[in-house]
Structure 1
């Protein structure tokens, strides 16, 4: 009996790469407009609260280097976890070294382009270079993203149930509640879209096929779970380096909730959206304003600014060697 694979194209999958390219180009102006609005709002907020940010930077300068080293190690390990999850999203064996390098390069590209477009483009190109068709590569990325969201939600649920009172929901206005209800009511209308139904069916078919391969399923779920956990560990390490007396599970829950909320705003690498959400979540967890700014700056230093230039160099090398 032949083992199931994900190389077979479902009948409802997109037929050609040009059609997908045209769809991406049609969405690009909207992504760019939303990104610009979010970044402008972030700049205005940063200007308004600049004294707090400046105090946070000064506090970070005196942080414990041992804890920062632990955070840097956890941040570097996320690329390996991302590679494991990506391997788990396809049945075919991918070249391990190039796969890890592609995740490192994708992380850098993701902080240059909005809404995960950079990481998606790098990984899509990598998978097609490995012999997968464009529709199957896109579906593999969707499977990985879906499982990543599910594991992050599961971590939030486990932490919230294990520590009652850790999750503090801020007060929201009536307008926000009404907007959320309207968005929920619109979901059935979106489901009527044929392209959305086809995409969901394609992802579901791949998930079922992958779960017939225990090794791939373990890599997909394990890598996704470790990826979110290690990012939370980076934030915990930064808070410890600053001497903040907060329970690690509360800090982890604050990060996971903030990162889930930041996904809704398509900024490059979550810059601006994740920063604001994480600062708010930390303040709700009991961190003072300047200390919360220090944590956000430390997290960004370890996950974005230090690896950005090396990641872009790796991206250039992979392109030069035609691995992308």
Structure 2
């Protein structure tokens, strides 16, 4: 009789498949997204890869080194958002893993989720961890926009905005939509007392923490210094790739193109910017005077160094941190 019984439930192959941790399966989503984008844009990818074959390898290696410094800058910003001292090694590992997680959810939510779990694991309460994420997003946006405005004032002829803004009522329509969205959000906030109390409490916590952080010079320096360094380092990677391909555009114009494209792509909720950063950056480079073919190859080289090359080790670190319950 026992010989005729089915396999035990825990040994059944289908049950083993069901028991696979969902978080481990999600770790492979970035590879699927990159593959889908590459297949959908294969002619563009093929021409860019062909052009990259003749690039100066020394400049590409320099770009890879600068890419590594980007995670150091991101770690500095994260440390600057909380008063407590965070463990340096685990903080750096969490930001490296956050780069891979950023390709799971749109608008940088993947990186925020990883950082939130890391801060909670360091004993920081949920309300203060959430306020730290909000402060990070605010400071990062202010630093990026401030850098762009400063460089545009220094090089007013860099971006030919008349070629980017279509004629007609596109801009007024966009402004009306933005005002309508903000107005709707205010109405919803005022009409729901529980939501209003939650937002008020969150703002009080965020402002209290922000004041405490700016009273400590080391935290303020890490916060603002890292927020300014991160986009500049990312732009430096793009400059390295441009030099490797002998792009006929001066480096300040390339930095302006990167800042403008990253800000524009941030309004498109694509996971990791896949499918939004590439065209925005290519258009920005063409706008500052780059030939289309070389601009395309430059964008692909930049994304390879900053996204595709670190993706596999980032996923491995993410899975390890999840398994070790650091996240």
Question: What range describes the TM-score normalised by the shorter chain of this pair?
Answer: 0.7 to 0.9
Instruction: Give the structure 1 partner of residue 11 of structure 2.
Output: none
Structure 1 residue 178, shift from structure 2 partner: 2.8
Give the 5 Å matches for 1:211-230.
211-230=214-233
Query: SS of the counterpart of 1:105?
Result: helix
TM-score by length of 2: 0.81
Aligned residue pair count: 283
Unaligned runs of 5+ in 1: 1-35
Is residue 128–residue 206 contact of structure 2 (8 Å, CA) maintained in 1?
A: no
Is residue 143–residue 206 contact of structure 1 (8 Å, CA) maintained in 2?
A: no
Structure 1 residue 45, shift from structure 2 partner: 7.4
1:249 and 1:55 map into 2 onto residues whose CA distance is 26
Give the 5 Å matches for 1:244-283.
244-283=247-286
Matched, 1:154 2:157: no
Structure 1 residue 200, shift from structure 2 partner: 4.7
Is residue 247–residue 295 contact of structure 2 (8 Å, CA) maintained in 1?
A: no
1:148 and 1:121 map into 2 onto residues whose CA distance is 17
The 1:190–1:292 alpha-carbon spacing in structure 2 relative to 1, beyond 3 Å, is: same
Structure 1 residue 199, shift from structure 2 partner: 4.7
The 1:180–1:289 alpha-carbon spacing in structure 2 relative to 1, beyond 3 Å, is: same
CA offsets per residue over residues 244-291 of structure 1, 9 Å max, x none? 121100000000010011111111111111111101101111112211
Instruction: Give the structure 1 partner of residue 325 of structure 2.
Output: 322
Structure 1 residue 213, shift from structure 2 partner: 1.4
Greater alpha carbon shift after TM alignment, 312-321 vs 171-180 = 171-180
Greater alpha carbon shift after TM alignment, 281-290 vs 225-234 = 281-290
Instruction: Give the structure 2 partner of residue 108 of structure 1.
Output: 100
Give the 5 Å matches for 1:91-240.
91-169=83-161, 170-186=164-180, 187-192=182-187, 193=189, 194=196, 199-240=202-243
Matched, 1:293 2:296: yes
Q: 2:287 aligns with which of 284, 289, 313?
A: 284
User: Between Structure 1 and Structure 2, whose CA radius of gyration is higher?
Assistant: 2
Q: 1:309 aligns with which of 294, 308, 312?
A: 312
Greater alpha carbon shift after TM alignment, 114-123 vs 275-284 = 114-123
Unaligned runs of 5+ in 2: 1-32, 190-195
The 1:197–1:278 alpha-carbon spacing in structure 2 relative to 1, beyond 3 Å, is: farther
The 1:228–1:185 alpha-carbon spacing in structure 2 relative to 1, beyond 3 Å, is: same
TM-score by length of 1: 0.82
Q: CA RMSD in A?
A: 2.1
Instruction: Give the structure 2 partner of residue 89 of structure 1.
Output: 81
